[in-house]
Structure 1
Amino acid sequence: MSEISQLATPQIHRKRNKDLGVLELVAIALGGMVGGGIFTILGVSVSMIGVYTPIAISLGGLLAALAAYSYIKLGVYYKDEGATYSFYKKTFPNSAFAASLVGWWVVFGYISTLALYAYTFASYAISSFEFANNEWVRKAVAGLVILVFTLINIWSVKGMGKIEDLMVYTKLLILAIISFVLINNSQTSLPVLVSQEQDISVLSIVIVASITFVAYEGFQLVINAVNEMDEPDKSIPKAIYLALFLAMLIYIVLSIGAILAIPFADIIQNKEYALAAGTGNVLGHWGTDLVILGALLATSSAISGTVFGASRQMAVIAQDGYFPSVLAKRNLRTPVNAIITMASLAFLLVLAGSLEVILEFGSVTFLLVSLLMAYANFCMRKLTKSSAWITALALIGLLMATFFILFYELNNQPEQMLFILIIYVLLTMGSWFYSRHRQSSRVENLDESKPDKLA
């Protein structure tokens, strides 16, 4: 038996009452994916590639499916709610600093998206009021919604699951209605738009697909719930693949409806509120209200799902000594301290502003971490019973997507690249400190456990 196979053995869990079925798990994944992404990516995509936006969204979804393949294989093998961090730690047990770094990247990537979802929720929630442009009111509402879902997650896993079901599936219904109405009120056709479109390079479409990949972030949250699900071997792949399919379908149909019914100029001018502003022009006040309701449900479920999954990952990392130990404490199975800490840090990010920069950090982080997961699965492919060529294809695709999004940022937003670099330096320093502290503590414990030679 190889060294990896000896050290990287899957966890065996005791039989216990499980609260989350496939529907709840799909809701958690969709809650993390169909958040603020579709309400902001549309404007960016149309401004860059116009009518080819649905193609880029499709490519982003296919890339997400390739990334999900490794998450699923590792998730079924290890059955560890630490997910990304635990998979890397167990696959490469002698790389303490690398495991710590991955853990810090993943958790703070989630914190940045949690802040974005809350900010987007607040922006839509107050958009119809006179104080819609009051930044402090917006931040106060963002803090309030974070607080609400923090309390829900602390209150009850089952309660969270049922509320997540209600929000997500209601959100899907509303987005389906919006898509149908937009398509039914088309002002043009796809052939006409294609004929009017200026030459768009394949490179531009691939770059947008790399940016769009961020809209699929959240499917891995399913694995964080492994201790609360029945039959992980079946539930994990079913929930993730079904959620990815539904998210891709929603994005494609909604983007087609938007580009057929809303003039490109309106979409580009109102990037953050493209659907609300455009639907209002086509359908009137009730159309705007419907889009706002869909946005509120989308961001709410994204906040809930992210708090649920990421807090459990933070608790696992803290238990291993790479975060403060107080974050590992649980009330029954709920990591209360980790939930409160994540919510507090997200609110601090909201107060600090510059969420667009933070979003770009989360985007790059998700691509890099997915790349690392594909690499880990490639090393473990025999034990996880993975296809070598599918895993290799995922590695190549994720590496290219990471390069393209960094290329875009460097050429178009160099200030954001600098800010992202600073964040990575700080996270690297924090992860290095805790990895060194953990190693020192282990050495001290070993020394204390040795018998007294003089005795």
Structure 2
Amino acid sequence: MLKLYNKIMKNLGFKELLAIAVGGMVGGGIFTILGISVAMVGALAPFAIALGGFVAWAAAYSYVKMGVYYKDEGATYAFFKRTYPSSHLAASFIGWYTIFGYISTLALYAYTFSSYIISGFDFAHNDVIRKIVAIGVIVLFALINLWSVKGMGRIEDLMVYVKLIILALISILLIYYAKIDFHTFASMVQSDFHSTPLMSILIVSSITFVAYEGFQLVINAVNEMENPDKNIPRAIYSAIILVASIYFIIALGAVLAIPAADLIHNKESALASGVGEIMGNIGQNFVIFGAVLATSSAINGTLFGASRQMARISDDGYLPPIISHRQNNIPTTAIIAMTGTASLLIAVGGLRLILEFGSITFLLVSFLMSIANFKIRNATKSSYIITISSIVTLFIGTLLILYYEYKTNAEQLLFIGVLYIALSVGAFGYANLHRRFRIFK
């Protein structure tokens, strides 16, 4: 009877887990990073974006090893807390950084949604309207999440599968309407390879890391999956390979079909504008629909998963107690808090700030996860060489983005630094409060 019960309850196999990972990763990031990448490395953009998949793999290695070892649905926060059980400071810092990383990606998805949905109007480049629409869509999906878990789930399932089909069709259309043949493209790649600094390629790969964020959602479903020892690594690694392939094909098709000047000029809505020039309004609207669907799915899923992790951190005493409030098992206050903070980030920052802050945050969190995995590498049966390589890769990726910010926009780097100081002060304060409460208790 127990075996039958476990079989019924653990009904997520490899296919379902792969869908969760791919759905979490493909959240509109490719629509956002394409124009920025072409501006930096030209025809090398598809390869640099695909190389970002290697950075994601370096991050995923520790998640996989610790996910199989701990089998804890709390994922990032839970792994770090259990690896350093006596350090309230470590638990608080990783909790704050992780949640704010999710908030930054939430803002990125909303900003991308807004850029595409208004791209066909005369006010497409009006930053105020773009931010109002971005905040509005977060509020909309917050209301959906507050309304019904079941309703949210049905909407999410539909959006995940439809967006994958649309992305595949966009790739086919771009390659079909290519204006540059592969021989000419090869010459462009060779020319850009000799003229583009290696550091620029690596910087693009690091910046695009945020477009691969989401694979860890598989671990959140560990209590409902079949054979976690086997399916966690299979689902996560397969998802990274699949998503890197999707991103590469879309980027390749865009470079072949859309003039580089158009991709660079229309950074936020590069695909829609480019396809519009090729296929007219029908093609443009098709891409807009795909981007809107992809970002909507990501906003919805991020609010659902991250709000529950935020409430759990609050339960442990590392965030204000009010955030742990639930109604009908829905973390209402956490959803509202994430919505408000993401809206504030949109209001004060632009696309590039949000994109780069999100990449820095998740690279930093993944770097800390790799260090935690190194600490217990014998228990997780991790390779010494691969673990060290992952730590070095993620550390270099973080330094590259910081260097890029320093060289291109020192004021923005200063603003990001202020955000991190504020996060660190908050995390430090709650770590001390937690420690004092435990002593008093």
TM beyond 0.5 = yes
Report the AA paired with residue 428 of structure 1. Answer: S
Structure 1 segments of 4+ aligned residues over 6 angstroms from their partners: none
Structure 2 letter corresponding to 1:224: N
**Mapping of residues 77-116 of structure 1, within 5 Å:** 77-116=69-108
What residue is the counterpart of 1:341 in the other structure? 337
CA distance in 2, matches of 1:242, 1:85: 24
Residue 159 to residue 49, structure 1, CA distance change in 2 (3 Å):
same
Deviation of the 1:422 alpha carbon: 0.3
SS in 1 for 2:160: helix
The equivalent of 1:438 in structure 2 is 434
Q: Give how far 1:139 is off.
A: 3.6
Shift of 1:141: 3.0
- Per-residue deviation at 1:124? 1.5
Give the partner amino acid of 1:54: P
Q: Which amino acid aligns with 1:341?
A: A
Deviations 1:243-265 (A, max 9, x none): 21221111000111011111111
Structure whose alpha-carbon radius of gyration is higher: 1
* Aligned pair partner of 1:362 in 341, 352, 358: 358
Identity of aligned residues (%): 57
Change (3 A) 1:58 1:119: closer
Counterpart of 2:163 in structure 1 is: 171
Match of 2:68 in 1: 76
Residue in 2 that maps onto 1:191: 186
CA distance in 2, matches of 1:125, 1:185: 23
Q: What's 1:250 paired with?
A: 246
Give the CA deviation at 1:420.
Answer: 0.7
**Alignment counterpart, residue 394 of structure 1, candidates 390, 395, 418:** 390
Alpha-carbon distance, 1:68 to partner: 0.6
The answer (yes or no) to whether the contact 2:206–2:359 under 8 Å persists in 1 is no
Correspondence for 2:314: 318
CA contact (8 A) 2:208 2:359 kept: no
Displacement of 1:121 in angstroms is: 1.0
CA distance in 2, matches of 1:320, 1:20: 28
- Residues of 2 paired with 1:265 and 1:73: CA distance? 43
Deviation of 1:147 after TM superposition, in Å, equals 2.9
TM-score, normalised to structure 1, is 0.88
Q: How does 1:159-238 map to 2 (within 5 A)?
A: 159-188=151-180, 189=182, 190-197=185-192, 199-238=195-234
Alpha-carbon contact 1:81-1:313 (below 8 Å) kept:
no
Equivalences for residues 260-275 of structure 1 within 5 A? 260-275=256-271
Alignment pair present for 1:143 and 2:139 = no
Q: Is the 8 A contact 2:53 2:240 kept in 1?
A: yes
Indicate the larger mover: 319-328 or 225-234: 225-234
Does the 8 A contact of 2:115 with 2:269 survive in 1?
A: no
The alignment's C-alpha RMSD in Å is 2.3
* Contact 1:80/1:226 (8 A) holds in 2: yes
> Which residue pairs with 2:37 in the alignment?
45
Q: Report the AA paired with residue 264 of structure 1.
A: A
Structure 1: unaligned runs, 5 residues or longer: 1-13, 446-455
Q: Per-residue displacement from partner, 1:16-41 (whole Å, max 9, x unpaired)?
A: 94676655543443333222321121
Distance in 2 separating the partners of 1:330 and 1:29: 26
CA contact (8 A) 1:29 1:305 kept: no
Mapped pair 1:65 → 2:57: yes
Total equivalences in the alignment: 432
Displacement, 1:195?
5.0
Distance in 1 of aligned mates of 2:94 and 2:375: 17
**Correspondence 1:402-441 to 2 at 5 A:** 402-441=398-437
* Alpha-carbon shift at residue 81 of structure 1 (Å): 2.7
Question: Which 5+ residue runs of structure 2 have no aligned equivalent?
Answer: none
The answer (yes or no) to whether the contact 1:27–1:165 under 8 Å persists in 2 is no
Provide the residue aligned with 2:303 in structure 1: 307
Q: Deviations over 1:112-168 (max 9, x none)?
A: 111121122122122223444454543443333223322443455454344323212
C-alpha separation in 2, matches of 1:206 and 1:32: 24
Residues 72 and 222, structure 2, Cα contact 8 Å, conserved in 1 = yes
Look up the match of 1:125.
Answer: 117
The residue aligned with 1:11 is none
CA distance in 2 between partners of 1:195 and 1:341 (Å): 49
Quickly say closer, same or farther: Cα 1:148–1:24, change in 2 above 3 A.
Answer: farther
What whole-Å deviation, never above 9, does each CA across 1:305-325 have from its counterpart, x for those lacking one?
211221122122111100012
1:334 offset after TM fit, Å? 3.7
Which range moved further: 327-336 or 282-291? 327-336
Q: In the alignment, is the contact (CA less than 8 A) between 1:27 and 1:164 conserved in 2?
A: no
The alpha-carbon deviation at position 98 of structure 1 amounts to 2.0
Q: Could you list the per-position Cα deviations for residues 157-211 of structure 1 after superposition, in whole angstroms to 9, with x for gaps in the alignment? A: 4543443232122111111111111111221222232355362222221222111
Aligned residue identity for 1:105: Y
